[in-house]
Amino acid sequence: MAWRQGVGLTEEERVTRDEAKSLLLRTLQMAAPFRRTIYFALACVITVTLCSLAGPVVIKHGIDAGIRKADEGALNLAVVMYVAIVITSYCIGRLQYLFINNAGENFLRLLRIKVFAQMQRQSMSFFDREKAGVLVARMTADIESMAEIVQWGLLQFISSAILFVLAVILLFFLSWELTIVALLVMPYIWFATVKFQRDSNKAYLAVRERVGANLSALQESIAAVRVIQAYSREEEQIRRFRASNQALYRSHMKSVKVSTWYFGLIEFSGVLASALIVGVGGWLVHRGSVSVGTVVAFVLLLSNLFDPVQQLSQLYNTMQSAGAALKKLFGILDTDPEIDERPGAVDLPARGDLCVDNVTFTYHDGSQPAIEKASLVLPAGQRLALVGPTGAGKSTLAKLMARLYDPISGSISFGGVDLRDAGMDSLRQRIVVVPQEGFLFNGTIRDNLRIAKPDASEDEIVAALRALGVLERFAELPDGLDTEVRERGSRFSAGERQLVSLARAALVDPAVLVLDEATSNLDPGTEKDVEAALDALMHGRSVIVVAHRLTTVQRADRIAVVDHATIVEQGSHDELMSLDGSYARLVKAWNSAQPMRG
Amino acid sequence: MSTPDPHSDQGAGRRGWKLLAETLREQRRGLAIGVAVGLVWSIAKISVPSLFRLGIDRGVERNGSLLFWTLLIATAGVVTGIFTAFRRWVAFRESRATETSLRERLFTHLQGLHIGYHDVAQTGQLMSRASSDLGLVQAFVVMIPLTLSNVMQILGVVVILALSQPMLALVALLPLPFVNLLARRFSNAIHPAVLAVQAEQAELANVVEESVSGIRVVKGFGAEGAQMAKLRKEADDIRAVSLGAAKIRSRFLPGIDLLPSLGLIAVLALGGHRVIDGRMTVGELVAFNSYLIMLIWPLRNIGMTIAFGQRAAAALIRVNEVLATEPAVADPPKAQRLPQRSSSAFTGAVRFSDVHFAYPNGTDVLHGFDLEVRPGESIAIVGATASGKSTVARLLLRFYDAQRGSVSLDGIDVRSLRLADLRKSVAVVFEDTLLFNDSVAANIAFADPNTPQDRIEEAARLAGAHDFILELPDGYETVLGERGYSLSGGQRQRVAIARAIVADPRVLVLDDATSAVDPSKEHEIRAAMATVMRGRTTLVIAHRPATIALAERVALLDEGRVAALGTHEELLRTSARYADVLAAQERREVELKVAQ
């Protein structure tokens, strides 16, 4: 079988015996729906394994009962038996692949769906905590590392184990003396293999690191090629890359060295064991205690003893890495979402005031509050601008008002219903958050709008776009609303992406809009359209906007100034200006930051 | 780069093999050693079953010296073991050396390719040339010496079998060529299936990735259900293609296992009767069996090698597409030298005469651009978005060559200069400041790694970067970049200016150096810019009035040529278009930037 490089596992990732037991139990529970397929697969594996063992036994029988006794009938019987075994092995062998893969792929599919569903249920704080790359790795690399086990590892593991046990039993019955001789070399093959696994794992980790360094050196040089050429530093970059490339080469060779001595040793051990069988077996034949056929069968069966030991120990690492992956995946499945629908949740009313009552919130237990004792009321249909320095907590306050987080104390209610008592569907229908960046998903423009309302009719989609005055703009694209968004919408300008994002909100037709105003400039071509669409969208709704522009702030009915996690001032623009406090100072700072005029 | 060819598939295939042969020629000594080692290995390996046969026939059956046979077989084992290791070592050494040298060639070539190439090439594509494609080549090269010794082993075994029992050999060997055939067909069938599985896995990864990075949208609209449906579809697709691959395995693998058994049955049936008839010994029968078993793996291996070779050839074609691209901008055959810089007179006269330029994708930028910059003078180039301001700098650096007209530095056409000479004389601070994953000092000393520390610090002081650098965790030794410390936009910009100062160029180009910076921080960079511009030919590409005001003269770029030239005040008075352009820029600036 193909020899595989170690899977690369650091010491912390290794799974302990107890963990392995509970992982196995849980996996079996999860695989319960495909129990029957698994039983069939097992039956196939056992049959095929028995067949491969039966071959040499039949040959031994043919030699001892047929050839050496010149009994042609017995010889022919052996041949017929051999044919039957081979055909059985072939047919069941084909089924074995199908059953095993069926069970395995169904299990992986279930795992993918379950883990993703659990991830999606998590609240924002989970996504603040976990790195995006790590979450993607859980769903890809970690699950894929189990695919190897599913495709051939499990099959190999079971059949190797059965093969080894049966081979030992069989050999013992044939001749216990020769079995002991054959097993003499076993301990050191085992030790050599374990050492090899450990060393090759270490070498592989080193190679992986070097490959990473090498590739990022390459990537950096490609990304920075303009700077490199502008400063004529090509030679220097090449010199550095050569060094990293050579280091990679050396670490590859180190890893080859590990496997080199191991394979030589294994090859030698096999021949040595056979030599001992010939020597000791010959002596036993001379004494008349075993037959020549037995010695022959021993030599033929020896590989059935050595191969499984090697395979089992090589699989050990694959199993370890699958175990480590499962541990992490079950970790996600065991994480309960912090924000979830309460039993007996109610729908929010169609309209109402949004009340924030003495709300305190921290991102991490025990850390500084991000919002402290905040209270405000947003009457239905009014606009509220949140202003304040970066990091003061205005975005956090906006997110709390959309229940992306739950307050630690105090309450937020809409139309008199505490948001925590509302059904999730109803909540997302009444209060919609439009993020700063227009984020596009893969799929068509239409798919991107439907994200907000999967059952939206074509009329509703057209109406939403028309309401914002952007229907023509998207209808004029080569494929209209069916235009594919590729690579996160890189073909669209930031303004166009923002328009799709606004249309999404229009499709939901919420009572409350939460907007995070963009800090960066849009392209001049779409900026006006975005402003017009935004105006249309805000019309007749309650709006909470995290504001960065004075014009936006001035158009709000109410302004809340957030500083150091508290609401320090609230009121209309004129009221706050006359207060001559934080707000007046912010406006002054803006005026002085204006670019000088010619 | 290639003309359409009715047999393009075949043609490409042949070209790939040719490339492979060329690549291997460099490794021919190592490969020859590999083959020699393989030869010894085959002999040792082949001798083992024969020794068993003799051991059983002479030692066991005829009461010969068992100790002698045991030791002889053990000795053969030692030789086999040593040469197994040796053969493997040589094969991997040669294949890794091939991979390493090809990767270096690729890297060197990429560094020399013109910017127009890099504008259209995708980084991901180039990366996969250097990693997965070269990986395929390596996987094939490693198999070459191993396969050659496998072939010798097969030949040796066949000869031995044919000499001892020709008829039996014929019958027993009959099914074996099919092992090779099946292995090759399997490898070819499973490869696209494996690629399909990978493609589906990538699609699932996309869904997960967009759900995680777009989590604000997902949560904001309650789109969990929509994303879940997408994922379910991808998970179903993965299962479907994986089961497809399993079907291919089930079709081939048991068959590959079955065929050699047919030979073994033939040996037992025919050979058994021969032993009974006395035309063959038991030892010979056992040896026959062992030899047949010995052939299975090498035959499978040859089938795989051929399939691997096809993939390696395809990979090399892709690699060669990069290597065969000639740099469009290169040193002239007979380069001229720039005049010496003297302390009495400024050097760094730049002249654009009647420059016409369009980008390779057809975007027409300059038509008849004329501009003369006197030594030591600073000029601001102002224009609307996408008017070609940055193109002017790129042409001076010879990132591209003008289609018509000429660009000259100190009186010499830039195309007559060595690229290194030209680019050492012109330093650019780019709009997007790219710093390297290296220490601050190394980033500043980029133009010349041997720059002494005091010159690095002097440059940093001039650029207004010294103070904040000292406050970094490790001062000048702080490592920056993706895996290091991240600086703010303004700080990065000042490091980039220091990098340009260290180069001590004749001409300094500041390409929109303040655009990425928070307006409230802009004045810090402006101060740095003013310092370094003093007494040095400088082109400032800018859109903020305060930055424009740093330059002595302003050139308004409109419709591909210089529409107006003069001081900032003159242009404000005389050019309505200039006022328009500035107003458009300013309108975009008017926003509340809440200052901390």
Residue in A45, A88, A215, A229 to test binding to B, most B beta-carbons within 10 Å: A229
Chain A touched by B488 (CB under 8 Å): no
Asked if B545 and A105 come within 8 Å (Cβ–Cβ), the reply is: no
Mean pLDDT of A527-542: 84
* Residue in the structure block whose two tokens are 């849980």: A26
Q: Does B149 touch chain A (CB under 8 A)?
A: no
Task: Tell me if A132 and B89 make a contact (CB, 8 A cut-off).
Answer: no
Q: How far is CA B66 from CA A68, A230, A270, A278, B176, in A?
A: 21, 78, 18, 8, 34
Q: B57, B128, B182, B208: best mutation site toward chain A, by most A Cβ within 10 Å?
A: B208
Contact B104 A242 (CB under 8 A): yes
The percentage of chain A sitting over the pLDDT mark of 90, rounded to a whole number, equals 8
Read off the pLDDT of each residue in A339-346 and give the average, rounded to a whole number: 80
- Cβ contacts of A389 on chain B, cutoff 8 Å: 594-596
Q: Is the pLDDT of residue A143 over 60?
A: yes
CA angle A186, A187, A188 (to 5 degrees): 95
> C-alpha distances in angstroms, A175 versus A145, A182, A281, A308?
42, 11, 9, 20
Q: Contact B211/A120, CB-based, under 8 Å?
A: yes
Which SS3 state, helix, strand or coil, does residue A511 take?
A: coil
Residue A43 CA to residue A96 CA, distance in Å, equals 8
In the numeric block, which tokens belong to residue A431? 């209060």
Name the residue with tokens 């051939």: A152
Contact across the interface for A598 and B568, Cβ inside 8 Å: yes
How distant, in Å, are the alpha carbons of A233, B52, B289, B447, B502 from that of B450? 13, 68, 69, 9, 11
Sketch the domain layout of chain A as residue ranges: 15-174+314-338, 176-289, 354-592
CA–CA min distance B23, chain A (Å):
17
Q: For residue B500, give the chain A residue with the closest CA.
A: A231
Q: How far apart are CA B350 and CA B341, in angstroms?
A: 14
Confidence bin at A219 (pLDDT 50/70/90): confident
Q: How far is it, in rounded angstroms, from Cα B496 to Cα A85?
A: 75
Cross-chain residue pair B70–A404, CB shorter than 8 Å: no
Give the closest-approach CA distance of A28 to chain B in angstroms: 19
As given in the structure block, the two tokens for residue B121 are 């090439």
H or E element in which residue A111 lies: helix A72-121
Closest CA to B219 of A404, A500, A450, A132: A404
Q: Can you say how many angstroms the Cα of residue A76 is from the centroid of all Cα atoms in its chain?
A: 57
In chain B, residues with a C-beta closer than 8 Å to the C-beta of A292 are 56, 60-61, 282
**How confident is the model at residue B512, as a pLDDT?**
72
Given CB atoms, is B7 within the 8 Å cutoff of chain A? no
Query: Measured between CA atoms, how close is B10 to chain A, in angstroms?
Result: 31
Which residue from B93, B127, B212 is facing A135, i.e. has the nearest CB? B212
Chain B residues 182-201 with CB within 8 Å of chain A: 201
Per-residue pLDDT tens over the stretch A461-505: 988 888 888 888 888 888 888 888 766 566 677 788 888 888 888
Query: B61 and A292: CB-CB below 8 Å?
Result: yes
Report the chain B residue with the minimal C-alpha distance to residue A266. B81
Tens of pLDDT, residues A383-441 = 898 888 777 888 889 888 888 888 888 989 898 888 888 888 888 888 888 876 778 88
pLDDT at B516: 54
Q: Are B217 and A435 a contacting pair at CB < 8 A?
A: yes
Residues of chain B contacting residue A66, judged by C-beta atoms under 8 Å apart: 272, 276
Provide the pLDDT confidence category of residue A65 given band limits of 50, 70 and 90. confident
Please state the separation of Cα A176 from the chain's center in Å: 51
Partner residue facing A105 (CB), from B225, B239, B289: B239
- Show the beta-strand stretches assigned E in A431-536: 431-434, 443-444, 484-485, 512-516
Beta-carbon separation of A62 and B78 below 8 A: no
pLDDT on residue A591 = 66
B212: tokens are 């995680």
What DSSP element (H or E) covers B382? strand B378-383
**Angle of the A176-184 helix axis to the A292-333 helix axis, nearest 10:** 50
Q: Between A222, A404, A454, which is nearest B219 by CB?
A: A404
Of A356, A410, A404, the C-alpha closest to A516 is A404
- Chain B residues 307-346 within an 8 A CB cutoff of chain A: none
Nearest CA in chain A to B501: A231
Q: What is the DSSP letter of B131?
A: I
- Closest residue in A to B71 (Cα–Cα): A275
Q: What pLDDT, in 10s, does the model give residues A109-134?
A: 999 999 998 888 888 878 877 777 78
Range A580-588 contact pairs with CB under 8 angstroms and sequence separation of 24 or more: A582/A388, A583/A387, A583/A559, A586/A387, A586/A388, A586/A561, A586/B594, A587/A550
Share above pLDDT 90 across residues of chain B, in percent, rounded to a whole number: 15
State whether residue B120 sits within 8 Å of chain A by CB: no
- Select the residue of A140, A238, A271 nearest B208 (Cβ to Cβ): A140
| 8 A C-beta contact, residue B302 and residue B147 | yes
Residue A142 has pLDDT above 80, yes or no: yes
Does the beta-carbon distance from B100 to A390 stay under 8 Å?
no
Q: Are A513 and A519 in contact (CB under 8 A)?
A: no
The answer to whether residue A351 scores a pLDDT higher than 60 is yes
Selected residue with higher pLDDT from B64 and A577: A577
Of B207, B219, B520, the CB nearest to A593: B520
Instruction: Kindly state the tokens that stand for B467.
Output: 């103070």
Q: What is the DSSP string of B19-66?
A: HHHHHHHHTHHHHHHHHHHHHHHHHHHHHHHHHHHHIIIIIITTT--H
For B208, name the nearest residue in chain A, comparing CA atoms only: A136
Question: Is there a contact between B546 and A117 if contact means CB atoms under 8 Å apart?
Answer: no
Residue-wise pLDDT for A279-321, tens only, equals 888 888 888 888 888 887 787 777 777 778 777 777 776 777 7
Confidence of residue A241 (pLDDT cuts 50, 70, 90): very high
Our CA-based measurement puts residue A594 at a distance from the nearest CA of chain B, in whole angstroms, of 7
Alpha helices in B345-452 (DSSP H): 389-396, 419-425, 440-444
Topology (CATH level 3) of domain B12-323: ABC transporter transmembrane region fold (1.20.1560)
What is the C-alpha to C-alpha distance for residues B181 and B252, in angstroms, rounded to an integer?
11
The third-level CATH classification (topology) of the domain covering B350-589 is Rossmann fold (3.40.50)
Regarding predicted confidence, which is higher, A217 or B431?
Answer: A217
pLDDT at A101 over 70: yes
The superfamily CATH assigns to domain A15-174+314-338 is ABC transporter type 1, transmembrane domain (1.20.1560.10)
Q: Are A233 and B254 a contacting pair at CB < 8 A?
A: no
Mutate which of A232, A263, A500, A551 to test chain B, going by most B C-beta atoms within 10 A? A232
Give pLDDT, residue B253.
86
User: Which chain A residues touch B278 with a CB distance below 8 Å?
Assistant: none
Query: Which segment of A7-16, A371-380, B218-227, B315-324 scores lowest on mean pLDDT?
Result: A7-16
Q: Which residue has the tokens 């250097």?
A: B130
Q: Which of B 436-475 lie inside 8 A of A, CB atoms?
A: 436-437, 446-447, 449
Q: In the predicted model, is pLDDT for residue A4 greater than 60? A: no
Residue A540 Cα to chain centre, angstroms: 42
Q: Which CATH class is domain A354-592?
A: alpha beta
Residues of chain B with pLDDT under 70: 1-14, 342-346, 385, 481-484, 513-522, 585-596
Domain ranges of chain B: 12-323, 350-589
Interface contact B107-A435, CB threshold 8 A: no
